[in-house]
Amino acid sequence: MTSLAGEIYVLREKERDQVEVYDVITYRLQRCLTVLNSRLFNDIASCEHYCCIYIIDDITQRGLDVECIHRLDAQGAATQWPVNDRPCGLSVNAQRNLLVTCHEARKIKEFTTDGHKVRTVRLPGDVINPWHTVQMRSGQFIVCHGWVGDAVRRVCMISADGRHIVHSHGGQPGSDTGQYNGPRHLAVDNDEFVFVVDVFNRRVTLLSPTLHYIRQVVSSDQLKWWPLCMYLDTQKRFLYVGESECKDGELTTGRVVVFSV
């Protein structure tokens, strides 16, 4: 989910009306947007400057080969462009460009709002399965990586050229305060404190700007299912966490839970 111009945008996996738009105060559904020729949405991000949202479409795992970004304006007019690697996470940086995390290729790709590629950043060799990236004001990247079967699952601060890990938090998978069991999505506040969604531990962890542990801001007893994504409203200090139920390997239902942070 994300927000734009006082509205909350939520992705749904269905053939039409995939983007539901809610009022940010009442949480009432305002309208739905349909993205034509879409297959499987993965993440969403917004840009207030260009008044648009970006959506990942990735259907490689179902025998097709669609790896692209959809760009929608506030009225729902859409364009798209290819990524040429499997995308899994989106964010917008201070230059108002789109950062696309490609987990299988271990790359970050930066695009302008009209889909022109600015650069590709290759991540260090021990950053396996990166899921989401946020760029700090310094130009350094915060990346969460690691999944089921990976020996290392953590959050890293990586140099602006992508070559070096500057700080990290986590390591061997687990449920202790210094461990993760599925770090999947990130958010950063105005003071550059880092929020981390930990899927299989069902929690959200808060880290300092240098990735030292602060506290749990959302615990497992506050969630019902698996938290897969989040959005931080830095002005209102509201954290929107999207959680989904999984049955037989399929996501069957979901909801958004709002926390004051």
3-state class of 217 per DSSP?
Answer: strand
Q: What pLDDT score was predicted for residue 195?
A: 98
Residue 103 belongs to a domain? no
Residue 106 belongs to a domain? no
Q: Are residues 220 and 130 in the same domain?
A: yes
Query: Residue 218's Cα: distance from chain center in Å?
Result: 17
Would you place residue 16 in the very low, low, confident or very high pLDDT band (cuts 50, 70, 90)?
confident
What is the DSSP secondary structure assignment for residue 220, as one 8-state letter? Answer: G
Last residue of a domain, one of 82, 97, 112: 97
Q: What pLDDT score was predicted for residue 37?
A: 67
Q: What pLDDT score was predicted for residue 51?
A: 95
Would you place residue 158 in the very low, low, confident or very high pLDDT band (cuts 50, 70, 90)?
very high
Residue 109 belongs to a domain? no
And the tokens for 67? 């790896």
Q: Give the residue, 13 or 108, on which the prediction is more confident.
A: 108
Q: Are residues 167 and 85 in the same domain?
A: no
Q: Are residues 93 and 139 in the same domain?
A: no
Q: What pLDDT score was predicted for residue 63?
A: 54
Query: Residue 253's Cα: distance from chain center in Å?
Result: 19
Q: Give the Cα separation of 77 and 122 in Å (integer).
A: 32
Last residue of a domain, one of 50, 80, 97: 97
Tens of pLDDT along 238-255?
Answer: 999 999 887 776 667 889
Q: Are residues 67 and 155 in the same domain?
A: no
Number of domains in the chain: 2
Would you place residue 187 in the very low, low, confident or very high pLDDT band (cuts 50, 70, 90)?
very high
Query: By C-alpha distance, which of 223, 181, 178 is closest to 199?
Result: 181
Region 122-145: mean pLDDT is 96
Q: What pLDDT score was predicted for residue 74?
A: 74
Q: Are residues 145 and 38 in the same domain?
A: no
Region 207-214: mean pLDDT is 97
Residue 36 belongs to a domain? yes
Would you place residue 67 in the very low, low, confident or very high pLDDT band (cuts 50, 70, 90)?
confident
Q: Are residues 73 and 128 in the same domain?
A: no
Q: What pLDDT score was predicted for residue 247?
A: 78
Would you place residue 40 in the very low, low, confident or very high pLDDT band (cuts 50, 70, 90)?
low
Q: Are residues 154 and 92 in the same domain?
A: no
Question: Which range of residues forms the domain containing residue 44?
Answer: 1-97
Q: Which residue's entry shows tokens 């700080």?
A: 167
Region 119-136: mean pLDDT is 96
Q: Are residues 260 and 145 in the same domain?
A: yes
Q: Rg for the chain (alpha carbons), in Å?
A: 17
Q: Give the Cα separation of 117 and 84 in Å (integer).
A: 11
**Side chain identity at 149, as an amino acid letter?**
G
Region 100-117: mean pLDDT is 96
Query: By C-alpha distance, which of 133, 142, 136 is closest to 108?
Result: 133
Structure pTM?
0.93
Last residue of a domain, one of 97, 112, 147: 97
Round the average pLDDT of the chain to a whole number and report it.
Answer: 91
3-state class of 62 per DSSP?
Answer: helix
Residue 110 belongs to a domain? no
Q: Are residues 92 and 127 in the same domain?
A: no
Task: Check: CB of residue 239 under 8 Å from CB of residue 232.
Answer: yes
Q: Are residues 78 and 203 in the same domain?
A: no
Q: Are residues 8 and 75 in the same domain?
A: yes
Query: Residue 49's Cα: distance from chain center in Å?
Result: 19
- Cβ within 8 Å of residue 149, ≥6 positions away: none
Residue 136 CB burial class (10 angstroms; 0-12, 13-18, ≥19): middle
CATH no. for residue 166? 2.120.10.30
Is residue 93 over pLDDT 90? yes
Q: Give the Cα separation of 92 and 111 in Å (integer).
A: 10
Q: Give the Cα separation of 82 and 123 in Å (integer).
A: 21
Q: Are residues 127 and 250 in the same domain?
A: yes
Is residue 65 over pLDDT 60? no
Half-sphere exposure of residue 166: CA atoms within 13 angstroms, side-chain side: 17
